[in-house]
Structure 1
C-alpha cells in the first residue's frame, strides 16, 4: 500500500514524542541507575556520563530489540485497530505523549518515576479511549496485563531489598567485622568479582540480548557461559587486580601507576617504598555537608591500617568552630528557600570562574542583562539574540558541572540537611582502603546494568515509534510484531544519552544519598541485588522496573545498619507515592488525548 501522506503530521508529532520519551528515559531511569555509583563516589559524575553513554549506545545498537510489540505487552488487543493504520498511528502517538508529559514533569521536579510503567499505563488509557474498558487486559494476561504490573510494583522493591541486604551482610561478615579488614577486602575481592561477573552475564543473557537469542539456549549452555565468565573474571582479578591493590593500598607504593596492573604478580616482588615516603592517595568516600577543596583525601594513614577508623569533625577545631557557628547563626535568620538559593548561587559563582564554554556562557549571561522595558523593546530583542548561544551552551553543559554530592547530602542548616545528618550518623563508616576495593566491582556492575538497559528498555521508546513509522510508510496497520530499523535504535540511544547528560542531575541529586548513606561496598550490593531481582522477574515474564528494584535494594542495604533511622523514610514515601500515581495519571493523560483526537468533529473538504 502507498504511504499515508495525509497522516504525515501524525508521524512528525509521534517522532517528536518518541524522542522526548527517550530523553526522559535517559534523564530518569538511566540517571537513577548511575546515581548509586556516583553517590558511593566509586566514579565521578562526569565519568558516569561518559560510561553511561558508551554502554547505553552499545547495548541498544549491538543487541537491542529488532522487533517491537505493537500492542505493548498485550494491553490493547491488536484487533482494536481493525486494520486502520491512521488509528494505530494516533493511538501510539497519544500513548507516547501521555507518558512523556508525565515523566518530564516528574523529572523537572526531581520526582523519580518509571518510564516503563508510564508508557504502559498511557497505552492502557489509550486502549480505554479506543475500544472501551472492557477490551483492555486488566488481569494477569500471562504476565503482560495490568494485574502483573500492579504485582511487580509491590513485590519487586521488597525482593530487591532482600537480595541487596543479603549481599551486603555477606561483605559485612567476611570483611567489615574483621579486626584488620583491609587485607580481607583485598584477598577476597576475586570472590565478589565472581559473583558480580556471573550476575552481569546473566543480565546480558536474559535482559539484554534479544538479537543474539542467548536466552533461548539450553539451561546447561547458559549456566556454562555465565559461570565461565564469572570464573574467568575471578581468575583475572586474582592475577592482576589483587597484586595491583596490594602494592597501591596495603604497601602504599608511590611508584605504582594505574596502568601497572598489567604486570600482575610481578608487582608483589617490587621493593617496598622507603620509610617516610607518602603513598598513593585513596579517595575519601565519606559524605560530608561542608565545603572542601579536595575530595581525594584519605582518612587513614599507613600506620592506621587495621585499626578502627577515627573521624575528625572540622567544627571541633578552634578556628573552624567560630566560623561554623557564625555561619549557622546567619543561616537561622534566613528562610529555607533563601538558604537553597544561597547554595545555588555559590555553585554558580564557582562556574563563573571556570575556563571553557560553560564559564564563558555563564559570564556572557551575567554581562548581558536585559534592559528596561518589555521584552519586545528593540534593545531587549537584540540582547536576547546575543544570549541565545549562551543559553544553548548552559543547557548542554550545566548538568555536567552540577555538584551532585552537595545536592544529595542536603543544604547545611536546613531541615533537610539536619535530617540527612541524622540518617548518616546511624551508618557505620568503614576504612577508605576497604571501600576503595569495592569501587571497582561497583563500576563493573553499573556498566553492565547500563548495557542491559540500553539493549532492553530502549524498546519502550523505539517500539511505538517503529509502529508509527511502519504504519505511515506502508499505509497499513502494523502486525503483532513490527521491524525496528537500526537507524531508529541509533537515533533514540543517542537521545537517551543526551537526556542523561543534560537533565539527569535532577534525578541523581535526590536518589542515592538522599535515601541512605552510600559507600562502594554498599553500592555494589545494591546494584547486584537489583540485577538479581530483574533476572528473577524476567524468568516469569513479569514487567518490572529496574529503577524500583535499585530503590528497594537501597532501602534493604540501609536497614543493614541495624536501625530504621538509617533510612530517610520521607524520601522513600515520596517515591512510592509517585510510583502509584504514575498509573492513573499517565493513563488519564494518554486516554484523554486519544479521546479528544479520535472523536473531534471533522468535515470533508
Structure 2
C-alpha cells in the first residue's frame, strides 16, 4: 500500500509540473517510473525487471510506438491526399469517402469495445467465436456508414455544393428531405457558410510576395520618415516664445487640476462581497476552457521558431473538402479518447486499485479486480484535468508542431487510435501521448517536407519522455526511503 501510494504521489507531482510546462509526457510511464523507484528503495535494483518484459519495453516504446502510429497516420493521409484532396473535384470525392471512413472508424471502436470492454464485463461475450466478433464489428460499421449516407451526405451536399447558407446543425436530422428544399436565396446577410480552416496561415507564394513588397517599400518609408522628422524640427523651431509660455502655463494648469474618475468615486468592493466572490469563482472555474488555444499557438517562443515559414511549406487544400472531414474528426477524436481511457487511465488507476484491494481483503495477489467506482473516479479526474489544465498541452501539440486542418487531424487521431487499440488488445502499456505525437509527425512529413515539422518541439517532447522515468523514480524512491526509515513509536534509534 505504501509503495503504490508513493508511486501515485510522485507521478501526480511530475505530471502536474510537466503539464504546466507544456510537456506532453506519458501518464503510463510516469506510473511505471514511480513503481520502479519504490522497488529500488524497498528491495534494491535486483528486484526490478529490467528485461524486455519490464523496463526495457518502455525504452523501446520511445521509438517503436511513435513510429507505428506515424506509419498508420501517414498511410491514411496519403490515401486521403491522392484520392480526395488532389482530385479535380475534391468536394465530390470527399462526399464519396465519408461513408467508408465512418464505417472504418466505428468498426475500430466496436472492435475495441467487444475485445476489451464487453469481454471483461459479460460472460456471454467471452463465449463468442470469430464469427460473432466479425458479425458485430462489420454490422455496426455498415450500419453507421448507412446512417452517414442517409443523414450527413444530404446535409453536406446542400451546404457545400448548393451553398445553402440558411442551414443549421439541427437540419441534419431531416436527412433526405433536405434535397427537396427549394432554391437557395441570395446570401444578403453576409453570413459565412463555412469557416476558413487556413485563416492566418500563409502559403509560400504569399510569404515570398510579402518579402519582396517589404524590400521595395523600405527606401520610400525611410525617406518619408526623414522628411517628417525635418518638418517636425522646422515646426518646433518656428514656435514663438509667447506660444511656448502659453503652452507651459497650460501644462501647469493641466498638472495641477485634479482628475476625478469613476474608479475614484466608486471604491473597489472587498473580496468577500458576494458579487466579487461569484466573479472570481467563475473566472477560476472557466479559465481552462476560455483560453484561446489557437491564439496561444501563434505566440512566439524559443520552441516555436518561424511558424509562418513552417506552415507555408504545407499545401493548402480545398476549404470545402476540408470541412467534410470536420465531422469525421469529431468521431475520431471520440475514438481516440475512448482508446485513451481503455489504456492510459487503466494504468493510472492501477496503483489505486491495488491499494484498495490490499486494504479491503488484507491479502496481496498478482492480479486484483478493479471496482467500477475507481474507474469512474479516474474518468472524472481525467475530465477535470482536461477542463482546468488541458490547454497547456493543446497549444504545443497543435499548430506549433505542424500545420493542422480537419483532414490532417482526422488522419492523426485515427492513426493514433489504431495503434492504441492494437496495444490494448495485446495488453501492452503504451502511451497515447507518444502515439499522437508520432501520428502528427508522420502526417506532417507526407504533408510537406522535413522542414514542415517543428523539430525543436519534437526534441522538447522527447526530452520530457526521457526524464520521466528517472524523475518519478527518484521522487517515489525518496518518499519510500524516508517513510521506511523514519523514527516510529516503540522502536529504538
Specify the TM-score bucket, using the shorter chain as the normaliser: 0.7 to 0.9
Contact kept, 8 Å, 1:208 with 1:456, in 2: the verdict is no
Aligned mates of 1:313, 1:182 — CA distance in 2:
29
Aligned mates of 1:403, 1:166 — CA distance in 2:
31
Contact kept, 8 Å, 1:516 with 1:566, in 2: the verdict is yes
Aligned mates of 1:233, 1:138 — CA distance in 2:
45
Task: Give 1:392 deviation, angstroms.
Answer: 4.3
Aligned mates of 2:29, 2:308 — CA distance in 1:
33
Contact kept, 8 Å, 1:253 with 1:280, in 2: the verdict is no
Corresponding residue to 1:568 among 454, 461, 464 = 454
Query: Which residue matches 1:400?
Result: 289
Corresponding residue to 2:197 among 285, 306, 310 = 285
Equivalences for residues 2-41 of structure 1 within 5 A: none
Equivalences for residues 176-575 of structure 1 within 5 A: 176-206=85-115, 208-209=117-118, 210-212=120-122, 217-274=128-185, 281-288=193-200, 392-411=281-300, 419-474=306-361, 476-575=362-461
Aligned mates of 1:197, 1:313 — CA distance in 2:
43
- The answer to whether residue 96 in structure 2 is matched with residue 169 in structure 1 is no
In our comparison, the structure showing a higher alpha carbon Rg is: 2
- Shift in CA distance, 280/312, structure 1 to aligned 2, threshold 3 Å: farther
User: What does the per-residue CA deviation read over 1:184-216, in whole Å, with 9 as the maximum and x for residues that have no partner?
Assistant: 111221122122222222233345554347587
Query: Which residue matches 2:26?
Result: 114
Task: Give 1:180 deviation, angstroms.
Answer: 2.1
Aligned length: 436
Query: Which residue matches 1:127?
Result: 39
Query: What's the secondary structure of 1:283's corresponding residue?
Result: coil
Query: What's the secondary structure of 2:121's corresponding residue?
Result: coil
Contact kept, 8 Å, 1:148 with 1:542, in 2: the verdict is no
Aligned mates of 2:468, 2:126 — CA distance in 1:
31
Contact kept, 8 Å, 2:310 with 2:453, in 1: the verdict is yes
Corresponding residue to 1:153 among 24, 44, 62 = 62
- The answer to whether residue 6 in structure 2 is matched with residue 98 in structure 1 is no
Contact kept, 8 Å, 2:339 with 2:421, in 1: the verdict is no
Aligned mates of 2:411, 2:277 — CA distance in 1:
45
- Shift in CA distance, 433/524, structure 1 to aligned 2, threshold 3 Å: same
Aligned mates of 1:514, 1:468 — CA distance in 2:
40
Task: Give 1:315 deviation, angstroms.
Answer: 7.8
- The answer to whether residue 52 in structure 2 is matched with residue 140 in structure 1 is yes
User: What does the per-residue CA deviation read over 1:40-95, in whole Å, with 9 as the maximum and x for residues that have no partner?
Assistant: xxxxxxxxxxxxxxxxxxxxxxxxxxxxxxxxxxxxxxxxxxxxxxxxx1111101
Aligned mates of 1:467, 1:150 — CA distance in 2:
25
Contact kept, 8 Å, 2:304 with 2:454, in 1: the verdict is no
Calculate the TM-score normalised by the size of structure 2: 0.80
Query: Which residue matches 1:6?
Result: none
Aligned mates of 1:550, 1:207 — CA distance in 2:
21
Equivalences for residues 57-76 of structure 1 within 5 A: none
Query: What's the secondary structure of 2:335's corresponding residue?
Result: helix
Contact kept, 8 Å, 1:285 with 1:432, in 2: the verdict is yes
Give the helix-richer structure, 1 or 2: 2
- Shift in CA distance, 582/103, structure 1 to aligned 2, threshold 3 Å: same
RMSD: 3.2
Query: What's the secondary structure of 1:272's corresponding residue?
Result: coil
Contact kept, 8 Å, 1:207 with 1:452, in 2: the verdict is no
Contact kept, 8 Å, 1:516 with 1:555, in 2: the verdict is yes
